[in-house]
Structure 1
Amino acid sequence: MKPTRLGRTAVFLWCLAVLALVASACGSNDDDSTGEGVVTAPTAAAPTAPDEGDGGAQGEDASAPSAEDADREPAQAPSEGDADDADGPADQPAPAEPDTTAEPTPTPTPVVLTASYQGVTESEIVIGVAAIDPIQINEMFGIDIGIFPVDKLYQALSDDLNSRGGINGRNVITHVVSFLPIGAADSERVCTELIEDKRVFVVIGQFIEDNALCITELHGHPYVGHFGENAERQERSDGLLFATEMEQTRQRVGGVTEMIRAGDLDGYNVGLYYEAPPDKAYVEAVRPLLEEAGINVVGEYSPGAPSTDTVANEIATDSITQRMEADGIDMILNVSNVYGVIQSVQRIGWEVPIAMTNGQAADRLSVPDDQNIEDEVLARTFAVTTNKPTREEALADPGVARCLAAFQEHHPDEPLDLTSSDVVNGLTNHCRAFALTVKILEAAGGNITPETFRAAAEGLGTFDLPAMVNASLSPDKHSAGSLVRRYEYFPEARTWLPVGEPIATEAVG
C-alpha cells in the first residue's frame, strides 16, 4: 500500500472521530405554512403503507384473535350454581336464546390533514436526507464504504410508498443531499439546503458528532439519524433527535455488562481508554459496573481529541499507550474510536489484548488494508457492541427484501453489488431509517408538528425494522436498537465477524 494513501486514510479516520460543533451559520427556523388549510380524508380510512420491518402489519395487535378464533365458540366454565343443579329436575325452563344480532361496524374517525408545519401540507410531507458521499470518500481517500445510488433508493421507496396511499393519504417527497463528513462546513451546507432551501419537515441523516444539532437545536426540526444519539445531544435537541442504532451510552453499558457476564475481564488489570473529551461520559457509565464486579481498574487514559495532524495524533496516542504499559495494564477497554489505539500498540510493539465497545468493530470494513494493521495484532482484539447483521442475515430479512424489491422494481437497469457487505450494510441502514421515519409520521396522524412527531415516536413501544428485531422507542429511549453482540477477528475474512446470537440490553439511566 502506498504511503500517501495511508496518510490520507489516517487523516480521514481521525477526522471522523472529532468534528467541530455546528456553527450558527445554519440560520433559523421560518415556519410559514401553519394553518394554511384543512381537508378531511374519505370516510373509509386512507390506505397506509405497510411497515418496512413487519411485512405491512403495522398497527395490528399481535394479541388480537384471528378470524378462525373469532368464529370458535368460547368455552365457558360452569358457575357454582350450575354445578349444584346439574342433576336437578328435567322440567327446568330452557334458557332464552342469546341475541346474535351483530353490532354495526363503527365508521372510522376521519383523519384531518392540515398544513401544520414547514414541509407538511394537506397532501404532502417533505423529507430531507443527509447522506455521506461514498464516491467522494473513495476518490479522495481510496476507501470504499459501499457505493450505490442513495438518491435513487429513496426515490424508489417514496414512489412505492405513494403508490400504496402514502402516509395517511399524504404523498411523500424526498430530497437527498450528500456531503463529506470532514469538518463542520459541509454538514452546515447540507443543513441549510435541506431546511431553508428545500423546506423539509424531518431529516434522515448520517451526520457525525454534533452536526445533527443544526437540524434539531438550531432549527427545531426532528432528525432521525442512522447513529449518534447520546444524552447531551438529546438534551440540546429538546427531544427531537432519534436514531436507529443504539444510543451511545447504552452501547457501552450493554457491551461491558456482557463482557463481565462472560468473564472476559476477569483477572486483568484494566485500563479504560477514551479519546474525545465527551467520551469520558462513557467511562463514567461503565467504571462502576467494573468495580462492582470486582474488576481491577488501574486508571483512565486519554490522548485527547484527535486532529487532522496525523503525526501529532500518533505521538499523543503512543505516549498514552506507553504509560498504560508502564502502569501494568494487561487489558485495554476502549470506549472510543476503534482504530487509533490498535495502530498505536502495533507501533510500540506492545502485545496487549483490547476489548472494544464502539460499533465501528461491527462495520466489517477492510480494516487491515485501510489501516495497515497486522493480523496478529487484530487477533488480540474483540468487541461487544451494537448488533449489526451480516450480509447474509440482512438479505434474508423480509424488511430488507421488500426495500430491495422496491428499488429493483423502479430501477431495473441499476444493478446493486449484493456480494459486497458494505453495499448491503449501507442499503440496510437507509432502508431502516426510512422505515422508522415513516412509522413515526404515520403515528403522528393529520396534524404533524415537531411536538406531535416526538409524541408519536415516544408512544411506539416495541416493533421491528429492516434487519432489526425488538426495536423500541419511548419517552426515555430515542434510539431504536436494543441488542448487542460479540465480534471477534477472523484472519481469513480479514475483519471482525459476529460470534453467537444477539443479546438484549437493559435500560440505561
Structure 2
Amino acid sequence: MVDDLNARGGINGRMVDITSEFYSPIDAADAERVCAVLHQDNETFANLGGFLGPAGSADPCVTGTNNTVMVGGEISSAEELAQANVAWFHAGPTTEFQTVNLFNLLVQTGETDGARVFTMGGAAAADEESFVLEQLEARGIEVVGSALIEALDGDTIAQDNELAVAFERFNASGANTLMVFGTPSASIRGAGAAGLTGEIAIWSNDSAGLGNLGATIVDKSIADGTLASTGPTDEDVWNDQDFQDRCVAPVQERIPESDLRNPLEYAPEEDNWFNSVRQGCQALSIFETIATAAGPVLTPETFEAAAYGPAGDNFQVPGMGPASLSPDKRGARDGVRLSVYDSTAGDGGLVAFTELLDAFE
C-alpha cells in the first residue's frame, strides 16, 4: 500500500519509507521494546498502527516519550491522551464518542422521542456518568434519575442487591428508558430480574460489552432489543469499492501469494489477511489525507494544524466512509449505525437496526 502511494507521487512529491517491527499483542514490555526500536533507533515521523490489546499501554511511548505522531493505537482515557505531546488519532471512536455517536443516532432516528431516561452503570465506569448526563441534557433528552452500582462484577450477590434497589428507584421515577454506561451485563440482568424485559427501551454505549454479555446472564433474551452504536461490519468494509480499489488491489497486485478474501470466509485457524490490511490501509489513508493537507513543510505542528483545518472537517476513508477530526474528536469514523441485540443471532449478538448513517450530518 505504501508502494502504491509512492507510485501515485507520494505525499506532495515526497516518497514514504516504511519501517516495521513485530511485537507480542499480549506483552506490554515487548511493545515498549518495539517502541524504542522504531522511534529511537530510526528517524520516524509517524507511527501507523500503534499498539493494541494488552500491549496498548505502550501507546504513550510513541506520542509522549518519543514525540512521534500516531494514527492508530487505542485512546482509552483522557489521562492517556494527556500524555501525548503531538497529534494522536485513530480510525474508530474513543470511549466518549461511542456515547456521542449513540445519542446522535438515537436522535436522528427518532428513538429519543418521548424518552424518560434513567442512567445506570458500574463503579468501573463511574467517570463516564457525568459525560453521559451532560450529553443527554445537551440534546434535550429528559433524565429522571441515575444510579451507580458500587459492587464489582465478581460479587454477583452484592451487585444483585444493589440492582434491586436501583430498579425500585427506576420504577418510581417514571422512566421508560434505561441508558447503561460501561459494561452492560449487570444492569441488563437487573432489568430482567425486575420484570422489565421488553417493557422498556435499553441503550448501551458499550457495543463490545453488549456483544459479550458474560456468564452472569444465563438467559440472553433479557437483552433483546438493546440498542448500541456500531461501525461498518467486516462485510460492509469488504464490499466497499473504495476499500477494494485502494486497499485490496494494491496488495493483490504486489503480493501474488496474499490470501485476501471476504472476511466471513476465513476459518478461525487461518491467517486473516483482511484484518491486517484494513487496519493498515485505514491508518495510511488518514495519514495521507492529513499529511497532504499539511503542505510541503511537514512537521508535527503542521500535521496537527492540517487535521484541525478544512481537510479534517470531512473526508473519506476506505471501508469506513465519512470521517472527521477535531481537537475533541480523535477517532475519525463518522459512518455508524444503530445495532440491536438479538439472542437468536448465533450465540447472541448485535445485528443491524439501521443502515450506516453519518452521525455528524
Cα deviation, residue 376, structure 1: 1.0
CA contact (8 A) 1:243 1:479 kept: yes
- TM-score, structure 2 length as denominator? 0.75
Counterpart position of 2:341: 489
- Which sections of structure 1, spanning at least 5 residues, go unmatched? 1-156
CA contact (8 A) 2:92 2:332 kept: yes
> Is 395-404 or 264-273 further displaced after alignment?
264-273
CA contact (8 A) 1:162 1:172 kept: no
Alignment CA distance shift 1:294-1:303 (3 Å): same
Counterpart position of 1:471: 323
Cα deviation, residue 348, structure 1: 6.3
Alignment CA distance shift 1:397-1:484 (3 Å): closer
Counterpart position of 2:359: 505
Counterpart position of 2:269: none
Query: What is the percent sequence identity of the aligned residues?
Result: 24
From the two aligned structures, give the one with the greater helix fraction.
2
Alignment CA distance shift 1:172-1:440 (3 Å): farther
CA contact (8 A) 1:485 1:498 kept: yes
**2: distance between equivalents of 1:193 and 1:359?**
35
Equivalence map 1:4-153=2 (5 Å): none
Alignment CA distance shift 1:335-1:436 (3 Å): same
**2: distance between equivalents of 1:271 and 1:501?**
26
Counterpart position of 1:6: none
- TM-score, structure 1 length as denominator? 0.56
Equivalence map 1:321-340=2 (5 Å): 321-328=163-170, 331-338=177-184
The SS at the match of 1:328 is: helix
Aligned pair 1:392/2:257, yes or no?
A: no
Aligned residues: 337
The SS at the match of 2:68 is: coil
**2: distance between equivalents of 1:350 and 1:201?**
56
Please give the root-mean-square deviation of Cα atoms over the aligned residues, in Å: 3.8
Counterpart position of 2:17: 172
Question: Which is bigger in relative contact order (C-alpha 8 A, separation at least 6)?
Answer: 1
> Is 227-236 or 471-480 further displaced after alignment?
227-236
Alignment CA distance shift 1:280-1:239 (3 Å): farther
Q: Encode CA deviations 1:227-279: one digit per residue, 9 max, x unaligned.
A: 53765554442451112223432331331244356245846561332534443
Counterpart position of 1:105: none
CA contact (8 A) 2:147 2:166 kept: no
**1: distance between equivalents of 2:43 and 2:157?**
46
**1: distance between equivalents of 2:91 and 2:296?**
24
**1: distance between equivalents of 2:85 and 2:136?**
28
Aligned pair 1:457/2:302, yes or no?
A: no
- Which sections of structure 2, spanning at least 5 residues, go unmatched? 267-271
Cα deviation, residue 401, structure 1: 0.5
**1: distance between equivalents of 2:157 and 2:41?**
44
CA contact (8 A) 1:368 1:374 kept: no
Alignment CA distance shift 1:272-1:428 (3 Å): same
The SS at the match of 1:420 is: helix
The SS at the match of 2:22 is: strand
Q: Encode CA deviations 1:449-476: one digit per residue, 9 max, x unaligned.
A: 2212212322323211112223123455
**2: distance between equivalents of 1:285 and 1:211?**
31
The SS at the match of 1:180 is: coil
Aligned pair 1:255/2:255, yes or no?
A: no
Alignment CA distance shift 1:225-1:328 (3 Å): same
Alignment CA distance shift 1:405-1:482 (3 Å): same
Counterpart position of 1:16: none
* Structure number with larger C-alpha Rg: 1
**1: distance between equivalents of 2:115 and 2:46?**
49
